[in-house]
């Protein structure tokens, strides 16, 4: 049987992942963060990260 606090811990871990993903996505788009040697693909990768993160958040909310 799962511990009582595990749901809270799972939510905190999930929320932390969402915040980090959004930070990385916006960093790639804004140029603060970049992957060497891929140039303009950094911006595209940033948008992919943001869109998939938001899609994951929406799907998680609809699941509850």
pLDDT in tens, 2-53: 566 688 898 999 999 999 999 999 999 999 999 999 888 999 999 999 999 9
Angle value at C-alpha 28, between 30 and 36, nearest 5 degrees: 120
- The C-alpha atoms of residue 11 and residue 31 are separated, in whole angstroms, by 30
Q: Where are the alpha helices (DSSP H) in the chain?
A: 6-30, 41-63
Look at residue 13 in the predicted model and tell me its pLDDT: 93
């Amino acid at each position: 049987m799962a511990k009582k606090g595990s749901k809270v811990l799972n939510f905190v871990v999930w929320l932390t992942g969402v915040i980090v993903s959004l930070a990385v996505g916006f960093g790639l788009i804004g140029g603060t963060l970049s992957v060497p040697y891929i140039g303009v693909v950094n911006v595209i990768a940033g948008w992919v990260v943001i869109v998939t993160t938001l899609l994951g958040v929406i799907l998680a909310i609809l699941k509850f």
